[in-house]
Structure 1
Amino acid sequence: MRIAIAQMNTRAGDFAATIDAMGLYGERAAAAGADLLVYPAPALMGPNPMGLSEQEGYVFDVTEALGKLAERLCVPALVPFMMGLGANPGVDVAYVRDGTVLPVVLASWLGALGSAVPDGDSARAKSADAPAQLPFGRPACISVGGVDVGLALTFDDLDAFASGDVSADIVCHIPVDGFDTDDVATCLAPSVSDGCFTQDASDANSWLVAAGAVGGYEDSVYAGGSFVMAPWGELAAVAPSFVEDLLVCDIDVMGEGPLADPVDAPSFDRERMLWDACSLALRDQVDKRGLAGVTLAVDGGLGAAALASLAVDAVGPLRVSALVCAEGDALKDARELVRALRIRDVDELSVRDLARAADLVGGDVDAEALGRGLVRARLFAQAASEGRLALSAADKTELAVGVSGEPVATAGAFAPFGDVYRSDVARLARRRNMVSSVIPAGSLARIRVPEGLGLEEVATSDELRVGELDAMLLMHVERGLGLAGLSAGKLGVEGARRLLARIKGNEAVRRSGPRYPIVSACSFAELASPVTDAWVDHERDLADDPRADEIADVLRELAAEASSAEESPLEDALDPERVSEVMGYLKDLSDGRRLRSEASGEGEGNDGASGGDGLWPSGMFSDN
């Protein structure tokens, strides 16, 4: 079988242009002799049309677009699309052939695939489409040209094929989720060099076809990197990252390897991938919204310098408008930066004039805060008059603990680094300077440390202080640690309490803050908490609680009973009354430290995690 992957970037909702682009890929695939063309998940509708999926007119247009695509394609194709199943919309994959459209997943769930697949006019087409029927909720399969093709939209689907629950000659992995810098597998081909996917293909004993998208869709970014992998782990074909491409590859499902001409996996470079993802997200924000360019403030600091460099890489210097507002050495560095980046549309706002304006309208208002507001107003006015996108230098650290001093736009702006910690922004800036030295040394050293958190005493340099703060933020945001876990850090109990209070107090500000691409395992948008909620984490003393040992003993006993039940499912091995008793006690063990050490047989390490190999080596519950 010859399979083709359309690694493409589209503008969700622009169905006329999208169908035209998808049709062109279909023509190229047909010319290359492809037997099956696979489109990436967000190509037709984006990763999530949100409320649009509830509108009758939108659903009608999607249906009409699929029909037009079916009429145009002259090669069988798999086209993912969003479908509504009551209150739980999900992703289905349309099998398009000979002008007909079959929703494979839905048909599989309904057990109607055998009768739903249309017959072609040729003997080959008639014998090619005898799909397998699968129970509700399991990955769907369809037979194309006598080859069983499975659909894996999530990593759980991949696991189903790897575990043998479902079998197929070829597994098409069409990821719905975008790039995540904390999950190397989301960049597809480069992750193979890091050991990803080879075990999946081997365990499934199937060819693995990964079809990745390229582009920014709302707050998701897709990195491309499509590939075709043989069951024994060799790569047969690889598409580049962050570039549109048509990948065509021959697959011999009866072959046993090795491949005659295997392809080396591209290396995984986290900083380069992260920079390219933020750059692509910014470029698509401008281009897909039909804007003329971007406008941003340059103050001589590290954050603004990294943002200006990213903006020039994304849309080019002629589409960047810079507002310089600084004084002293910072002003010198800001001027040097815009010259090095060849930004021509540059205006300067005198700090002295800004201070006078603040005095005139400020009264008793904090002059520094008012000055930032005036710069924001200037940026937004300029962006509106010129049809540009106002950019914010806000990073994940700033969104966590508040404004750090940069004169950046907030609400209504776009912050490419809004899901990137400040210490990572510093590393990205230095990495960018390795390509060309555009960021002055003074700006690289001008990394701002949030005040009022006690960071001055934890390290000897500003960068180390920010690194310590970001490490604690990561443990809280991505790892779920609360006060108990964070107290083990250099800030201690009081410092951890101040940090959590600052994060909670900044919740309302984040709600009205800039939009940003999500490139981590957990953004602040996903960690949102009620603004008016009064709960705060606090210390708990469980050392003398007599029930802690009892709970740990019961849990160990239940686990032993569950593991010894060879034929009974887990729920049958647990006594409901005893489980209810344990759950009643768990309210007193919400930080999990005692339970973790008892269940695993090991004490906690310095990072707050247990070090054993017990049933729950990382704890049965998160620390908050």
Structure 2
Amino acid sequence: MRIALAQINPTVGDFSGNLRKIAEFVERAAAEGAALVMFPELATCGYPPADLLEKESFVKRAEETLAAVAELTRGEGRPAVLCGSPMRCESSSGKRVRNVAALMEDGEIKFVQQKMLLPFYDVFDEQRYFEPAKNQALSVVNWKAVAITICEDAWNDKMFWPRQMYPVDPIEELMRQWAVLPQPLSGHRLILNISASPFWHGKLEVRQRMIGALAKRHRATVVMVNQVGANDSLIFDGGSFAVRPDGEVFAQANSFVEDLLVFETEEQGVGSGVESSAAETLGNESDAGGEDRVEKTWQALVLGTRDYLSKCGFRKAIVGLSGGIDSALVAAIAVEALGAENVRGIGMPSEFSSTGSVTDAEKLAQNLGIAFSTVPIRAIYEEFSTSLEPFFKGTEFGLAEENLQPRIRGSLLMALSNKTGALVLTTGNKSEMACGYCTLYGDMVGALAVIGDVYKTEVYELSRWVNREREVIPEDTLTKSPSAELRPGQKDTDSLPPYDVLDPIVRAYIEDYRSAEEIVRSQGVELELVRKVIRLVELSEYKRQQAAPVLKVSRKSFGMGRRFPIAARREV
């Protein structure tokens, strides 16, 4: 069968826009002679729709859009379409909505496969909205049997994962049905999967190893189409692919861009059907190469920034440029995502800002080709200090005075945002957000935390990658000691361990949920230091829950996928 994978970038709730995009890709697939064109999970409405699914009008509009998609298949020579959509449940009990893959031919919906495994971990909360399928059934496309699955339904292979998340495996159920099919339907096994699988480091490799193991185990060709684009914090990398029965990928779409991948399935053979164990296939979840990992992170952050602004109806961004590496990297990402003409840098030096910081910010803006303005805050800070003098009199200069400065800067940035209609991009990294080394209503103000899931050490890696062909980020910015410059001679290491020590501790605690004792044993650091870092992480939860949305690029980012109470005793 000639199949087309339509890797599209839908916008949540934009039914008319999503329909136009689906129609465009159906026409392209038809021109390529495809018998079937596959679209991602919930393609009619975009993923994830969240509580919009609780609005009856939203689900009704999705069903109307799906009916319009079915019309695209009407007429001689038109390809069949497999498309994801929410759909109302037919039963009177349980949840009111189901997550379905609809197979459409000849202008009609011929078959509906309902999602069975509804993830409820990390960023997923599908059990909140959808009614799970009670069973699965094979379907027929172009006179050939196919097994249709939706995303998570293919993620419970007991031969791949050390621990199954669910008591049932929809793929196994479908393959048992296949075993009793009459000839000629029981020939070449074909498993189709429509997905909206978010990106994190190494995710594409995990998908391909998992699907490869699945293909070998069941002696089947397995095809996965994945959503691309970004919706709020989640970034979808696409990377749709097809795997032969021997577990090898034979066709793959590009990552981080819309794409149409067309291929033939019959040419791939039957394969050996050798089963793979979890130990053989799971392996390391990191990317194969360091530079490849850095480049993918860059692509993800650029896509996430571009889609966040465009899907929210904005074209321009403002970045507060301190002369430091974090704001420099965010500005570089913004320029790649939006164009230099749509990015403005604002320098806001205080009496504690070094001359080099001001000149580094100016040089960065010049290298990026963006507009740059300077708004000194010394006079404003002095006015604040005068007003507070009756309350601060007789006390030493400390945190209150330090935090006044970023809060003044935050107010200026938001005023410029209100006046110009440009969104403020916050510049804090994951290391700082983890330890609370950031100021609420100050440097945390803004619409999007672009690098909030990027550790400080990774910020340096990304910045060097940005400079791989020419100097974009000034060399002085890369080599000087990090400092918030809120008091004379301040350095980050006054408050935090060196980042090459801090980041592995934070990663182990946040992403792997390691205890202090486990971190000490694995990293060879002092227990007192680890406990200090953990205490900083726990005490800063109230800040993170008031932060801007964070673009997710790791397995565990701050935001919707990490839910901890603010008011709690931390005894474990």
1:51 and 2:65 are equivalent in the alignment: no
SS of residue paired to 2:498 = helix
Shift of 1:178: 0.5
Residues 103/471 of structure 1: CA separation in 2 closer, same or farther (3 Å cut): farther
- 1:25 corresponds to which residue? 25
1:172-187 matches, within 5 Å, as: 172-185=192-205
Shift of 1:405: 7.7
Q: Distance in 2 between matches of 1:333 and 1:224?
A: 37
- 1:402 corresponds to which residue? 436
Shift of 1:106: 3.3
Q: What is the CA deviation profile of residues 432-481 of structure 1, one whole-angstrom value per residue up to 9, with x for unaligned ones? A: 11143201111112453799xxxx9xx99999820211111111111111
Q: Is the 8 A contact 1:223 1:277 kept in 2?
A: yes
Q: Distance in 2 between matches of 1:504 and 1:512?
A: 15
Residues 22/421 of structure 1: CA separation in 2 closer, same or farther (3 Å cut): same
- 1:35 corresponds to which residue? 35
Residues 28/400 of structure 1: CA separation in 2 closer, same or farther (3 Å cut): same
Shift of 1:107: 9.8
What is the aligned counterpart of 2:214 among 200, 216, 222? Answer: 200
Residues 99/299 of structure 1: CA separation in 2 closer, same or farther (3 Å cut): same
Q: Distance in 2 between matches of 1:369 and 1:24?
A: 52
SS of residue paired to 2:11 = coil
Structure 1 runs of 4+ aligned residues shifted over 6 Å read 405-408, 459-464
SS of residue paired to 1:211 = strand
Q: What is the CA deviation profile of residues 150-170 of structure 1, one whole-angstrom value per residue up to 9, with x for unaligned ones? A: 234345625549785533622
Q: Distance in 2 between matches of 1:137 and 1:443?
A: 58
- 1:319 corresponds to which residue? 342
Paired residues in the alignment total 492
Q: Distance in 2 between matches of 1:84 and 1:476?
A: 41
Q: Distance in 2 between matches of 1:90 and 1:400?
A: 37
Shift of 1:490: 5.1
Unaligned runs of 5+ in 2: 118-131, 160-170, 179-188, 273-286, 393-398
Q: Which structure's CA Rg is the greater one?
A: 1
What is the aligned counterpart of 2:258 among 235, 244, 260? Answer: 244
1:388-467 matches, within 5 Å, as: 388-404=422-438, 409-446=443-480, 448=482, 465-467=498-500
SS of residue paired to 2:192 = strand
SS of residue paired to 1:9 = coil
Shift of 1:137: 5.3
**Length-normalised TM-score, structure 1:** 0.72
Amino-acid identity (%): 27
Q: Distance in 2 between matches of 1:524 and 1:335?
A: 32
**Length-normalised TM-score, structure 2:** 0.78
Q: Distance in 1 between matches of 2:493 and 2:385?
A: 36
Shift of 1:329: 1.0
Residues 231/336 of structure 1: CA separation in 2 closer, same or farther (3 Å cut): same
- 1:479 corresponds to which residue? 512
Shift of 1:200: 2.8
Letter in 2 for 1:67: A
Q: What is the CA deviation profile of residues 105-139 of structure 1, one whole-angstrom value per residue up to 9, with x for unaligned ones? A: 23999xxxxxxxxxxxxxxxxxxxxxxxxx95566
Q: Is the 8 A contact 1:294 1:319 kept in 2?
A: yes
Q: What is the root-mean-square deviation in Å for CA atoms of aligned residues?
A: 3.3
Shift of 1:59: 1.4
Q: Is the 8 A contact 1:391 1:409 kept in 2?
A: no
- 1:149 corresponds to which residue? 146
1:533-552 matches, within 5 Å, as: 533=568, 535-537=569-571
Q: Distance in 2 between matches of 1:491 and 1:407?
A: 34
Residues 431/89 of structure 1: CA separation in 2 closer, same or farther (3 Å cut): farther
Larger RCO (CA under 8 A, 6+ residues apart): 2
Q: Distance in 1 between matches of 2:234 and 2:134?
A: 25
Letter in 2 for 1:359: S
- 1:379 corresponds to which residue? 413
Q: Distance in 2 between matches of 1:79 and 1:308?
A: 38
Q: Distance in 2 between matches of 1:230 and 1:448?
A: 50
1:301 and 2:324 are equivalent in the alignment: yes
Q: Is the 8 A contact 2:225 2:240 kept in 1?
A: yes
SS of residue paired to 2:68 = helix
Letter in 2 for 1:283: R
Q: Is the 8 A contact 2:321 2:345 kept in 1?
A: yes
Letter in 1 for 2:259: D
What is the aligned counterpart of 2:79 among 75, 79, 86? Answer: 75
Unaligned runs of 5+ in 1: 110-134, 259-265, 538-623
Q: Is the 8 A contact 1:279 1:311 kept in 2?
A: yes
- 1:469 corresponds to which residue? 502
